[in-house]
Chains A and B, each alone.
Chain A
Amino acid sequence: AQKVTQAQTEISVVEKEDVTLDCVYETRDTTYYLFWYKQPPSGELVFLIRRNSFDEQNEISGRYSWNFQKSTSSFNFTITASQVVDSAVYFCALTPMNRDDKIIFGKGTRLHILP
């Protein structure tokens, strides 16, 4: 069975602080994709990143970085020098490569960046 756990339901940090959103997944598949999506207060879902299970290199995009560790089944997301515009709900998701009809979402982490 596949499962994505985002243990942090809600996080509040003061602007300019760094914050890490945790994502732990379970899958019996050896090959899979991992995703992060952002849902700002306006409600739309915005794709942030896709990672395949072959590639454990960390990725950085501006203030965003992702740490993929297969050994701990984690795919954590860090925002450096947070800004108010980062306030949103963030979802982690998993798709087995051999079940391309299925994407499993975590329940999301609501992030508040306080000015």
Chain B
Amino acid sequence: EAQVTQNPRYLITVTGKKLTVTCSQNMNHEYMSWYRQDPGLGLRQIYYSMNVEVTDKGDVPEGYKVSRKEKRNFPLILESPSPNQTSLYFCASSRPGTGIYEQYFGPGTRLTVT
């Protein structure tokens, strides 16, 4: 089944404790992206990757890191989480080729930083 998976789905952590949210897709998509969703703000892009070893900042990259060492994986790293990073996070991928067509979203990761 074609899908984007994220782990963990729920995470409660404390300020400053490094964490990684994994994202994996099995559709051979070149484009992958991370978003955060906050009430009243919609979805905002954190980082994206057009291909392996190519990553770029989105609209709200501060406090986050990503890597793209393999095509299928695109982990989101919070080196020192803070309470303002409490949010719902989505990973997405898009089919190979040019342009963004419909993005396939993972199920979301709800992160709480205390």
Cα-based distance from A91 to B44 in the complex (angstroms): 12
The minimal Cβ–Cβ distance linking B66 to chain A, given in whole angstroms, is 14
Given contacts A100-B98, A101-B48, A107-B42, contact A43 B103 (CB under 8 A): no
Cα-based distance from A106 to B43 in the complex (angstroms): 8
- In chain A, what residue has the closest Cβ to B102? A47
* Chain A, range 4-61, C-beta contacts under 8 Å to B: 9, 33, 35, 37, 43-45, 47, 50
Interface pair B100/A95, CB less than 8 Å apart: yes
- In chain B, what residue has the closest Cβ to A39? B37
Interface pair B108/A101, CB less than 8 Å apart: no
Q: Answer whether residue A84 sits at the interface, using C-beta atoms and an 8 A cutoff.
A: no
* Chain B, range 29-71, C-beta contacts under 8 Å to A: 31, 33, 35, 40-45, 48, 50, 56
Question: What number of A residues sit within 8 Å (CB to CB) of B?
Answer: 20
Across the interface, B105 reaches (CB within 8 A) one of A45, A106, A107, namely A45
Chain A residues near B74 (CB, 8 Å)? none
- List 5 additional A-B contacts (Cβ < 8 Å) besides A44-B107, A47-B104, A100-B98: A33-B100, A100-B100, A101-B48, A102-B45, A105-B42
Chosen A-B contacts, 21 in total, with CB atoms closer than 8 Å, are A33-B100, A35-B102, A37-B105, A43-B107, A43-B108, A44-B105, A44-B107, A45-B90, A45-B92, A47-B103, A47-B104, A50-B101, A91-B42, A95-B99, A95-B100, A100-B98, A101-B48, A101-B50, A102-B100, A105-B42, A108-B42
